[in-house]
Structure 1
Amino acid sequence: MRVEWSVSRYGAGTSLFVKLSTDLPPKVSWVVTTSAVSSLLVCAQELEELTRTRCWLEEPALRESIVSRTGEREEQLVLALHRLARAQRRLPEDPSSNTPEWEKLHRTFHRVLVAGCRSRWLTDFCDQLSDPASRYRLISQDESERDEIGEHRLIAEPAVDGDAEGAVEALLNQYRLTAAKCMERFEVTCDPRASAAKQLHSLGL
């Protein structure tokens, strides 16, 4: 649910609480107050937990997928990266949002990345966390151009070459960068006295 649409629909003078998802804890909410988007608070604890859990799950999934890689899997990953790079990312009418096609291809890339880990449970867990992660990723987007295709290439190329250390490092760095950018953009409800960067550092992210 877009914040700008909510403000225009219900009025800038209305306090609006929008749950990110019905299956997320109640503490995770967007808070829109007067003067359009004057205050947007995101629970840092939820984001930190999500980022940490994704790193815990996807590191072994990616390592195992690289160890068990086949020529077919490598081709699928190269093709997924190619399609993602060619897709139009931003909506023309709303540059702050991504096109549905880009989101679909982005999800496919990350699925293919760990698909060879030989554990349906692990891939399902990784995929389950993609939905809340995508919402925080959208929040982290700003006017600056982030080279996300370059970031995905840094993950895919070592994965195809069998370099598990390089691929894992690039993947985890991407997740941590997204979390840091998100926390820097908004005030943190969990501890308003601490900066987002300090909170990430204290948790080892």
Structure 2
Amino acid sequence: MSTHAHLDADIREVLTAWSAPTPAQERLRQEYLAHIEAHEQASAKAGPPAHFTASCLVVDEAGERVLLTLHRKVGRWLQFGGHIEASDAEVAGAALREAVEESGLPADALTLRPALAQLDRHALGSGFSRCTEHLDLRWVAVAAAGSEPVVSAESLDVAWWPVDDLPPDTEDSIRELVALATALPYGNATSRRQDSALP
């Protein structure tokens, strides 16, 4: 029995319910659904070389700054994220777990926005082993005021960046994710605390 069957089912449910904001995102949504139907354990690192991942962009309460990690393998500033583990109860929880692990923020300092924010499919460089492509599902989490990150073993650095002054080499997809995240209202949003999203 697949150790990731519940996660593949959750991804299918999330994608089926999601209203893509652009035609390009809708095309990716359809590609993702086709991929999960074509492969067993599509959410597992040990599954197909092209597999699903989960990530999370952390923003401050004012929507003025984003917390990014200088990824050790990629060598660029990115949102937090990574592989989905069999122990994750759901893919959104996997995204939030990655944010907690890689940011060093306390678990109760992050509030997950419940809706999927963005899809991004990208090929990987030589720094990765058997993985050739990631089909990323991206969420947004809001950090409590005064949250201070701690650099993890997976990062060269972790830092807050103003939304209007991101690192020069920031990928277009991340700039679009930042724009989506900071366009949302913050004061009265329906949200979910990290401790209720993780198993």
Q: Shorter-normalised TM-score: what interval?
A: under 0.3
Judging by fraction of residues, say which structure has more strand. Answer: 2
TM (norm. structure 1) is: 0.26
TM (norm. structure 2) is: 0.27
Judging by fraction of residues, say which structure has more helix. Answer: 1
